[in-house]
Amino acid sequence: MTAPRAFHALNPATGEALPTPVPVTSPEALAAAVNAAARAARPFARLPGARRAAFLTAAADQITALTDELVARAMEETALTEPRLRGEAARTAQQLRLFADLAREGSWVDARLDRPDPRRTPPKPDVRSLRVPLGPVAVFGASNFPLAFSVAGGDTAAALAAGCPVIVKAHPAHPATSAVAARALQAAAAATAMPEGTFTVVYDDGHDVGLALVRHPHIRAVGFTGSRAGGQALLAAAQARPVPIPVFAEMSSVNPLILSERAVQAGGAPLVAGLTASITGSGGQLCTQPGLLFVPDGAAGDALLLDLARALQAAPACTLLSGGIHEAYAGGTAALAAHPEVKTLQHAAGEGRGVHAALYAAPLAALTSAPDLAQEVFGPVSLAIRYGSLAALTGALQALEGQLTATLHARPEELPAWQPVLEVLSSKAGRVILNGFPTGVEVGHAMVHGGPFPATSDGASTSVGTRAAERFTRLFAYQDHPDALLPPELQNANPLKLWRLVDGQRTQEPLTPEVTA
Amino acid sequence: MTAPRAFHALNPATGEALPTPVPVTSPEALAAAVNAAARAARPFARLPGARRAAFLTAAADQITALTDELVARAMEETALTEPRLRGEAARTAQQLRLFADLAREGSWVDARLDRPDPRRTPPKPDVRSLRVPLGPVAVFGASNFPLAFSVAGGDTAAALAAGCPVIVKAHPAHPATSAVAARALQAAAAATAMPEGTFTVVYDDGHDVGLALVRHPHIRAVGFTGSRAGGQALLAAAQARPVPIPVFAEMSSVNPLILSERAVQAGGAPLVAGLTASITGSGGQLCTQPGLLFVPDGAAGDALLLDLARALQAAPACTLLSGGIHEAYAGGTAALAAHPEVKTLQHAAGEGRGVHAALYAAPLAALTSAPDLAQEVFGPVSLAIRYGSLAALTGALQALEGQLTATLHARPEELPAWQPVLEVLSSKAGRVILNGFPTGVEVGHAMVHGGPFPATSDGASTSVGTRAAERFTRLFAYQDHPDALLPPELQNANPLKLWRLVDGQRTQEPLTPEVTA
């Protein structure tokens, strides 16, 4: 047996290899992990929600306890700043706790009971149904969220809350961070006596391990946050399987942000500061970064862009997440700068591996003739599209692809006239923000972080917020089962005090014996 | 301009063309229908649920009023019996009323409100979300449900309740029936002032119109019930679009029904009668027809199969839905009869176009060596697999593909020992029935008519029951919108009295001003 191949993550600030070698997961180890996950699937699914909640809570505690180490490794591997990473660690723990609450409370399974009627012709059966976990889920770590959307991140928390074992393919840019987070989850799994194989992390600096995972017959769903090309490759692999599986891929979004002329006039310094923060936050590497601004023609718009360019120039240079992202940013901004109809307002070049934020402008007509201008350039860059009439703006927005978010800044008195713009934005995006900024995705029950293709591969779903657990389930019905054979969620006594739908009525009450006799 | 090409449906009992020519929808007419549906999408989506409920209720009334005509046309076109078709017409109307109730009550949109906290750092935004309709839906009529799963059927009712315009591709075997149902829905749409283009039916005896529909950029989802080959062709077309769309295809299921030895011993005449009705009902052409029986080795099983063969022989011959289905049935049963390990217990051949029910038997080992024996043969045919040990049975069940249903007949005292079998069945099917029969799918809130691939293309969903509306929606969030700009479902006052999730708590209460101030 030969020693496993190993790789080294690179320090994005220096381009140099970090000292710790990371062994590539062997085909044998991968098969063992997936088989263990498949064996864990049924016992893990059958655990009470409170037990899964204990696991997720222990995981949150472990993430909190290991924050210093997580942040130190992630700073080396991603060049994200310490405050950002401390915030992300807190968010990761909070997210695990939110899903723990969901699993503990339990009503999210959408338990439904339709009572029988033996006197009807034909007799009406007893039908009870709920969401059940799909089985082992493959989660791909994201480059831009080494903690909150990687090993212990949102997809992992959602899948575990739903009752699915998880195998994470660590992102190759931050394997040491991933290993610390893996330790946190494995310690939590051991401390709360989860079935062996409930949670594993695998490593590869290429595509083999990830593709093998997606193609493995025991894997039942995939969660992915990354590039459009990466997401589409996983989708194609999943659809080509003898038994296709769902891929929840979050891929690409430029998050259009539209400013009315009055909003620009009234915006002043707070508007410039808000835009600057949203464009440059985390090195502009957030999924909801506003890459496309719609700014009115005329003096007020000119002045705003002048102020914004100055503010972006004054913002500190940042190091992007990886050499590949640096190169893509350099190429994408160079292409924008070279476009005959695009004017450079603020230049992107920095010294060495540092980059400055960039701002470009183009007339609306340029977007119509070159729709590729609306493609995402990942990093701290925005393209301002200058528009004249509301009608022309509305037409241009209609040509946009699907987006995670869209944002409108307009004064309250203008909103009736801007209703058609809001309607177009609603048809394009998963979330529409009024007079705010799309970055800073709130983790809660109502959040929708999804959107029509190509923002995601499944615009019906969300990857942030408690609804994310539902994507890792299917519906299942029991017909004419005795009470003792039903899971507690569907038993007459409603021992878990769930909100259920009984004959179409929402209730927390038990079923009384005479009704079901 | 040339006259449109026309086709004639065939009378399955005689093979002769029915008199009324059916014009194939021209590409121009198809484009006009889809464009009208796209224009209707926003106004239809914005109608109050009560207005959509009025439309669906009027449609139900129309179906009831036109039942005689629907049944007459369907008898000619499908050879299904009058009692079956009268029952199906009643079920179609009931289904429309159930979805009317869903739309009127409104809570199914899963409205969620997470309240803001402006004092938090950073400020917590106001996020409110709900399910919104996807846009125009293409529905393919099913051959085996000319009323309840065709023009005015389940997918149509679910999509309209969800707020999606519908274009139905009528099944080529029953165009005259489809035209009557189309009149019913169009009359209802006109009487309730639905937007022009909300509902259209198109016709073709080939695949061009259907494929053009699935490929049209304005179509946002597809509902289909039919063959595995047909469903997979639509899936491939939908996935190859520049913007892929979901296809909810119900394709293929043999609905395994397992009998324990004690259940056989205790079953007697009622068991034989129940099996006979479930195997032969509607000519064996129900999606949940039990095509695969697992019968214990030994004398009790032998006796049951002898009785069942006699009962099937005594059952009246039936005419299958179409010449194509007749040929497939003849071919499928001939292949079973010719299989070296399969024994014919009751023969399929009938006179002319009539067919008798057929029953075959094979040892468990044959299924292991020839898994294709478990492929669906559409029509009144079942293959009995004779099993010895519970362990061998469990292993064979593990090898089955995904199913709509699975059924176990066992005595109450046996159930603990049969738990592993129930667990395997649960992992394979969308619905598990205990001591009953899978046919006769109850339309209600808890029903799940779905299942893992290839039973359906999306095992997370259901095509029967009120949850079917959810498949035609996506999630959408409003961030920091003033109350007046929100849809009623998300307004503070909760004017529709919906059950909503407010900060994670289920409630019908309004939001009080001080909370949101």
pLDDT tens per residue across span A12-58: 999 999 999 999 999 999 999 999 999 999 999 999 999 999 999 99
Which chain A residues are Cβ-neighbours of B485 within 8 angstroms? 415, 422, 434
pTM greater than 0.90 (yes/no): yes
How, if at all, do strands A247-250 and A22-23 pair?
A: unpaired
CA distance B323 to chain A (A): 31
- Report residue B176: phi and psi, to 5°: -70, -40
Q: Is residue A349 pLDDT above 90, yes or no?
A: no
Instruction: Find residues 232-251 of chain A whose CB sits inside 8 Å of chain B.
Output: 239, 243-244, 246
Whole-angstrom distance, CA of residue B322 vs CA of residue B97: 30
Whether residue A447 and residue B127 make contact (CB cut-off 8 A), yes or no, is: yes
Q: Among residues B402, B99, B410, B288, which one has the least CA distance to residue A480? A: B410
Q: For residues A199 and A202, give the distance between their C-alpha atoms in angstroms, rounded to a whole number.
A: 10
Residues in chain A: 517
Structural contact between residues B449 and B423, judged by C-beta atoms closer than 8 angstroms: no
CB A354 within 8 A of CB A318: yes
Q: Which two tokens stand for residue A72?
A: 């130190």
Q: What is the pLDDT of residue B139?
A: 98
Measured over the CA atoms of residue A176, residue A177, residue A183 and residue A186, the dihedral's sign is: negative
Whats the size of chain B, residue-wise? 517
Distances (CA, A) of A506 to A103, A276, A443, B146: 19, 46, 26, 34
Residue type, B490: L
Q: Do A452 and B243 touch (CB under 8 A)?
A: yes
Hey, what are B356's tokens? Answer: 């008798």
Please, which contacts does A225-230 make with residues 24 or more away whose CB atoms are closer than 8 Å? A225/A140, A225/A142, A225/A144, A225/A145, A225/A149, A225/A155, A225/A249, A225/A250, A225/A287, A225/A463, A226/A140, A226/A142, A226/A143, A226/A250, A226/A251, A227/A251, A227/A252, A228/A252, A228/A454, A230/A140
CB B291 within 8 A of CB B383: yes
pLDDT(A144) > 60: yes
Closest chain A residue to B98 measured between Cα atoms?
A504
- pLDDT value, residue B2: 62
Question: Does the distance separating the beta carbons of A467 and B436 come in below 8 Å?
Answer: no
Which residues on A lie below 8 Å from B426 (Cβ)?
132, 476
HEC states along A457-471? CCCCCCCCCHHHHHH
Q: With contact defined as beta carbons under 8 Å apart, do B500 and B249 qualify?
A: no
Residue B29 three-state SS: helix
Nearest residue of B to residue A472 by CA position? B460
Minimum-distance CB partner of A445 among B244, B478, B504: B504
Report in angstroms the alpha-carbon separations of B304 from B260, B301, B308, B501.
12, 5, 6, 53
Higher pLDDT, residue A406 or B20: A406
SS3 B9: coil
What dihedral do alpha carbons B91, A126, B160, B28 form, nearest 10°?
Answer: -60
Which of A426, A473, A479 has the CB atom closest to B434's CB atom? A479
Position A214 pLDDT exceeds 80: yes
Secondary structure of B419-488 in HEC code, one letter for each residue: HHHHHHHHHHEEEEEECCCCCCCCCCCCCCCCCCCCCECCCCCCCCCHHHHHHHEEEEEEECCCHHHCCH
**Cβ–Cβ of A434/B113 closer than 8 Å?**
no
d(CA B74, CA B68): 10
Question: How far, in whole angstroms, is CA A320 from its chain's centroid?
Answer: 19
Quick check: A107 contacting B, CB < 8 Å? Answer: yes
Contacts of B244 in chain A (CB under 8 A): 453, 457
Would an 8 Å CB–CB cutoff place A433 in contact with chain B? yes
Burial category of B495 from C-beta neighbours within 10 Å (exposed 0-12, middle 13-18, buried 19 and up): exposed
Question: Smallest Cα–Cα separation from B266: which of B143, B87, B411, B163?
Answer: B411
* Confidence check: pLDDT of A513 > 60: no
List chain A residues with CB under 8 Å of B481: 432, 434
Give the separation between CA A185 and CA A194, rounded to whole angstroms. Answer: 11
ipTM of the complex: 0.97
Q: What percent of chain A has pLDDT over 70?
A: 98
pLDDT at A358 over 70: yes
Q: Considering only alpha carbons, which residue of chain B is nearest residue A111?
A: B446
Q: Is B113 on the interface with A (CB under 8 A)?
A: yes
Q: Give B 126-145 residues with CB within 8 A of chain A.
A: 127-129, 132, 134
The verdict on a CB contact (< 8 Å) between B482 and A101 is no
CA A428 to chain centre: 18
Q: Which residues on chain B are in Cβ contact (under 8 Å) with A430? A: 474-477
Task: Report yes or no: A85 and A74 within 8 Å, Cβ to Cβ.
Answer: yes
**What residues of A act catalytically?**
250, 287
Size of interface A-B (CB pairs under 8 A): 187
Residues 6+ apart with CB under 8 A from A81: A75
Euclidean distance between CA atoms B486 and A419, whole angstroms = 12
Residue A116 contacts residue A107 (beta carbons within 8 Å): no
Q: What is the pLDDT of residue A31?
A: 98
Query: Nearest CA to CA, how far is A207 from chain B (Å)?
Result: 23
Among residues B287, B318, B376, B489, which one is catalytic? B287
Q: Quick one: pLDDT at residue A121?
A: 87
Chain A CB within 8 Å of residue B43 CB: no
pLDDT in 10s for each residue of chain B, 517 residues: 566 799 999 999 999 999 999 999 999 999 999 999 999 999 999 999 999 999 999 999 999 999 999 999 999 999 999 999 999 999 999 999 999 999 999 999 999 999 999 999 889 999 999 999 999 999 999 999 999 999 999 999 999 999 999 999 999 999 999 999 999 999 999 999 999 999 999 999 999 999 999 999 999 999 999 999 999 999 999 999 999 999 999 998 999 999 999 999 999 999 999 999 999 999 999 999 999 999 999 999 999 999 999 999 999 999 999 999 999 999 999 999 999 999 999 987 767 788 999 999 999 999 999 999 999 999 999 999 999 999 999 999 999 999 999 999 999 999 999 999 999 999 999 999 999 999 999 999 999 999 999 999 998 999 999 999 999 999 999 999 999 999 999 999 999 999 999 999 999 999 985 444 4
Reported as a single tens digit per residue, the pLDDT across A478-487 is: 999 999 999 9
Residues B213, B180 contacting (CB under 8 angstroms): no
Cβ(A147)–Cβ(A181) below 8 Å: yes
Give the Å distances, CA to CA, from B333 to A463, B122, B268, B379, B471. Answer: 48, 69, 27, 10, 36
Is B114 close to A445, i.e. CB distance below 8 A?
Answer: yes
Is-catalytic flag, B105?
no
Please say whether the beta carbons of B52 and B163 come within 8 A.
yes
Please enumerate in sequence order all residues whose Cβ is within 8 A of that of A353, keeping only pairs 6 or more positions apart, or say none.
A12, A13, A14, A15, A319, A320, A326
H-state helical runs in A286-439: 299-314, 323-338, 364-369, 390-398, 415-428
Per DSSP, helices labelled H in B223-354 are 228-239, 261-280, 299-314, 323-338
- Answer yes or no: do A448 and B476 touch at CB < 8 A: yes
What residues of chain A lie within 8 A of the CB of B423, using their CB? Answer: 42
Per-residue model confidence (pLDDT) at position B513? 57
Residue A340 sits at the vertex; the CA angle it makes with A338 and A345, to the nearest 5 degrees, is 65
Report the residue of B44, B107, B129 to disrupt the A interface, i.e. the one with the largest count of A CBs within 10 Å. B129
Partnered with residue B140 across adjacent β-strands are: B169, B224
* Residue A252, pLDDT score: 87
B282-310: b (≥16 Cβ within 10 Å) or e:
bbbbbbbbbbbbbbbeeebbeebbebbbe
- Give the B window 181-200 contacts with A, CB below 8 Å: none
- Whole-number percent of chain A with pLDDT over 90: 95
Residue A262 pLDDT > 80, yes or no?
Answer: yes
**What is the number of other CB atoms lying within 10 angstroms of the CB of residue A434?**
21
pLDDT value at residue B517: 41
The burial class, CB within 10 Å (0-12 / 13-18 / 19+), for B368 is middle
pLDDT (tens digit per residue) in A114-138: 999 999 988 999 999 999 999 999 9
Distance from CA of A293 to the nearest CA of B (A): 18
Q: Would you call A477 and B430 a contact, using CB atoms and an 8 Å cutoff?
A: yes
Nearest CA-CA distance, residue A412 and chain B, Å: 9
**Three-state DSSP state, A93:** helix
